[in-house]
């Protein structure tokens, strides 16, 4: 367990790393005794700093919910981070590659809540009832901490949240069987990854249920209007300068972002 002083030092290191676009040494190496509780406390310090600077929380992201993501990260449990208004990007956006340290992209379904979601024992049906609509998305992830990262490093780093691009066709939560929503990720017209949303804990809504139950321990609820990224069902794809990343969700449409 870290001291309050060390938690604040770690948070400041992450804030500086993001501002300077330069990853820092793993927190798990600087503080070998770091715990998951410390990591979420550090994330909370970074969130408080950003809110104080004018950023607005618009939802959460869930990470490491699929076997593909867990294997690529060598981590075997989900995590979560906060989404901010400045992370939202329009479909087809041209984004400066220099805005990030080492950007990658993921195929995800974004759940937009119409009702609050809170409490222990939240299940799939509760999530579907609380969801206004689901929309295709590309999540941009970025590592402000050097590789190889442990779960403590990823959690403290706001679960690598960096950007969200939504597009395609929004659907009601029961309009289709979300387990069978598929995604194909192209980089410069070449297929890099494919997957089905069932890869996220068997059903993407189960990622939202996990988050609601986890946050309930801290007295936090998921708010109406908030966006929740349910977790990637493919491995992340590297985004280099000049790359165009195109996620095709079939009947749900497509989403695109270009790094310039």
| pLDDT tens string 239-260 | 999 999 999 999 999 999 999 9
What pLDDT score does 237 carry? Answer: 97
pLDDT for residue 63: 87
Give which of 195, 201, 185 is closest to 244, Cα–Cα: 185
Residue 60's pLDDT is 97
Q: What is the DSSP track for 8-57?
A: HHHHHHHHHHHHHT-PBPPHHHHSTT--HHHHHHHHHHHHHHHHHTT--E
Contact partners, residue 14, CB within 8 Å, separation at least 6: 24, 42, 46, 144, 145, 156, 157, 158
Q: Distance between CA 81 and CA 85 in Å, rounded?
A: 14
pLDDT digits (tens, 9 = 90+) for 154-167: 999 999 999 999 99
Kindly give, in sequence order, each residue whose CB lies less than 8 Å from that of residue 67, ignoring residues fewer than 6 positions away. 199
pLDDT attached to residue 66: 64
Domains in the chain: boundaries: 57-259
* Nearest residue to 171 via CA among 248, 112, 256: 112
Q: What is the mean pLDDT of residues 174-183?
A: 97
Alpha-carbon span 184 to 211, nearest angstrom: 26
Quick one: pLDDT at residue 74? 58
Q: Tell me the mean pLDDT in the region 63-68.
A: 71
Encode pLDDT of 40-60 as tens digits.
999 999 999 999 999 999 999
CATH dotted code for 57-259: 3.90.850.10
Mean pLDDT, all residues of the chain:
94
pLDDT reported for residue 70: 61
Alpha carbon 222 to its chain's center: 15
* CB of 7 closer than 8 Å to CB of 45: yes
**pLDDT given for residue 249 in this prediction:** 98
Each residue of 9-37: pLDDT tens digit? 999 999 999 999 999 999 999 999 999 99
């Amino acid at each position: 367990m870290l001291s309050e002083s060390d938690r604040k030092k770690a948070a400041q290191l992450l804030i500086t790393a993001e501002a300077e676009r330069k990853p820092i040494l793993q927190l798990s190496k600087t503080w070998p005794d770091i715990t998951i509780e410390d990591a979420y406390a550090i994330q909370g310090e970074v969130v408080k700093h950003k809110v104080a600077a004018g950023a607005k929380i618009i939802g959460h992201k869930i990470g490491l919910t699929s076997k593909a993501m867990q294997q690529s990260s060598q981590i075997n449990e989900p995590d979560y981070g906060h989404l901010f208004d400045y992370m939202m990007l329009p479909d087809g956006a041209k984004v400066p590659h220099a805005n990030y340290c080492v950007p990658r992209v993921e195929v995800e379904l974004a759940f937009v809540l119409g009702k609050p979601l809170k409490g222990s024992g939240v299940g799939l049906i509760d999530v579907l009832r609380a969801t206004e609509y689901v929309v295709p998305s590309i999540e941009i992830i970025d590592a402000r901490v050097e590789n190889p990262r442990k779960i403590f490093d990823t959690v403290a780093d706001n679960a690598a949240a960096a950007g969200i691009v939504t597009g395609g066709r929004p659907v009601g939560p029961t309009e289709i069987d979300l387990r069978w929503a598929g995604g194909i990720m192209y980089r410069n017209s070449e297929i890099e990854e494919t997957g089905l949303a069932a890869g996220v804990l068997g059903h993407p809504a189960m990622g939202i249920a996990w988050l609601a139950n986890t946050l309930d321990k801290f007295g936090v609820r998921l708010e109406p209007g908030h966006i929740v990224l349910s977790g990637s069902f493919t491995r992340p794809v590297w985004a280099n300068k000049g790359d165009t990343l195109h996620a095709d969700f079939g009947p749900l449409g497509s989403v695109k972002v270009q790094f310039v």
